[in-house]
Amino acid sequence: MRDYGIEHWPETGTGIKFVRVEGLAPGNALSARETALYGAFRMEKRRKEWLAGRLAAKCLLSAAANEADQSRLDISYDQLGRPACAGRIVSISHSGGWAMAAIKEGTSFIGADLEKIEERHPAWYKDYFLPGELATPDPGEATRLWAIKEALLKALGLGLAADPLSIRAGGQKIILAGKALGRYSELGSPPFVVSTKPFPEGFWTAVAAAR
């Protein structure tokens, strides 16, 4: 299995790290607070995903902060609920046995998403895509656009507290509306760029970051 090191995506100016969920142990990477959180998970699947996401994020933070002792990099949350450590925002996602983290220096507007391509129920398309947003109900393209929406909602600090229909990701230009537009305005309407890339084993990834 390929070991993914830290990648640099020039389109968004972000550092990216992928980690496989299975076979991980916390070692000495977690702070005392994080160790307690890790031990408190009742569902093994959720505990493994949380750990993989944290280890991916700490790899990026360790490089950015030049801090070899990852236990000193305690990841909490900012006022908008985004993962944060020592003033840096780091975005975390996991899907289908993989975790992904993304970071960009000098901005808090950063969001990443990793989504496995799957067949979806027809109702899913109606719930998450505006009329005409998808040219065809292709699972691959739908997953790519869904990853864009998720990445932007994370950058906005909204997650699924906002209606995914408040973002139109299909077409030549991304359009925000409703709660997404309101939060974007509150954050100062930073110009942003979005990049999508396929990931092996049938995934799409998306990163949204301020320019």
Taking only the tens place, the pLDDT of each residue in 34-46 is 999 999 999 999 9
**CATH number of the domain that 79 lies in?**
3.90.470.20
Q: Note whether residue 2 is domain-resident.
A: no
Q: Note whether residue 60 is domain-resident.
A: yes
Write out the residue range of the structural domain in which residue 206 sits.
7-210
Residues 6+ apart with CB under 8 A from 206: 112, 113, 115, 144, 147, 148, 150, 151, 194, 195, 196
Q: Note whether residue 1 is domain-resident.
A: no
Q: Note whether residue 14 is domain-resident.
A: yes
Q: Which H, E and C letters describe 114-168, residue by residue?
A: EEECCCCCHHHHHHHCCCCCCCCCCHHHHHHHHHHHHHHHHHCCCHHHCCHHHEE
Q: Note whether residue 109 is domain-resident.
A: yes
Whether residue 105 contacts residue 131, with contact meaning beta carbons closer than 8 Å, is answered with: no
The pTM assigned to this predicted structure is 0.95
Q: Note whether residue 176 is domain-resident.
A: yes
Q: What's the structural domain count of the chain?
A: 1
Angstrom distance (rounded) from CA 150 to CA 158: 9
Q: Tens digit of pLDDT for each residue in 49-76?
A: 999 999 999 999 999 999 999 999 999 9
